[in-house]
């Protein structure tokens, strides 16, 4: 991780996230803020998060939102959420140097499935909105 990325001060209340998987760690660093319900996360967009014209890449926003929605599902259900469906609507553009923040919440959960909605924004300006469906994986007794 470059010193540039870590030298950026995160938005108030956000702390560096630890213990993420290899894919997420590679794409980050990510930050999180403890909230009562759902999940709140952020990342500082650098040139490596951008496409050839200097805008935050749609794939980066999709990966960020997928992890954000899964975090909300986990917090609500205490089960490991596996993405079954992810729908992303791109609304505006972010650029290198922006802090991209995201919030997500579970709209419905059954024993095996969670439905989650969220958004990624810069200073309150929505970049993307997402909806996801997650299979909830639980350890089997004695397993």
| Domain ranges, residue 10 | 3-137
Statement: the pTM of the whole predicted model exceeds 0.85? yes
| Overall domain count for the chain | 1
Share of the chain above pLDDT 70, in %: 92
The enclosing H or E element of 59 equals helix 58-77
Evaluate whether residue 9 is within a structural domain: yes
CATH number at residue 83: 3.10.129.10
Residue 5 has pLDDT above 60, yes or no: no
Residue 34 has pLDDT above 50, yes or no: yes
Mean pLDDT of 73-94: 97
Which 3 state secondary structure label does DSSP give 88? strand
- pLDDT number for residue 2: 44
- pLDDT number for residue 7: 55
Evaluate whether residue 87 is within a structural domain: yes
Looking up tokens 């989650």 gives 116
Evaluate whether residue 142 is within a structural domain: no
Q: Across all residues in the chain, what is the average pLDDT?
A: 92
């Amino acid at each position: 991780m470059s010193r540039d990325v870590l030298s950026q001060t995160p938005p108030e209340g956000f702390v560096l996230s630890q213990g993420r998987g290899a894919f997420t760690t590679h794409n980050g660093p990510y930050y999180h803020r403890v909230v009562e319900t759902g999940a709140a996360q952020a990342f500082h967009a650098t040139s490596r998060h951008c496409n050839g014209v200097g805008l935050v890449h749609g794939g980066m926003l999709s990966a960020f939102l997928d992890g954000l929605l899964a975090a909300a599902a986990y917090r609500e259900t205490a089960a490991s959420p596996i993405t079954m469906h992810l729908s992303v609507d791109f609304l505006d553009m972010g650029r290198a140097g922006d802090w991209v923040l995201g919030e997500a919440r579970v709209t419905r959960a059954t024993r095996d499935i969670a439905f989650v909605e969220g958004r990624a924004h810069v200073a309150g300006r929505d970049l993307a909105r997402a909806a996801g469906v997650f299979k909830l994986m639980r350890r089997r007794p004695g397993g």
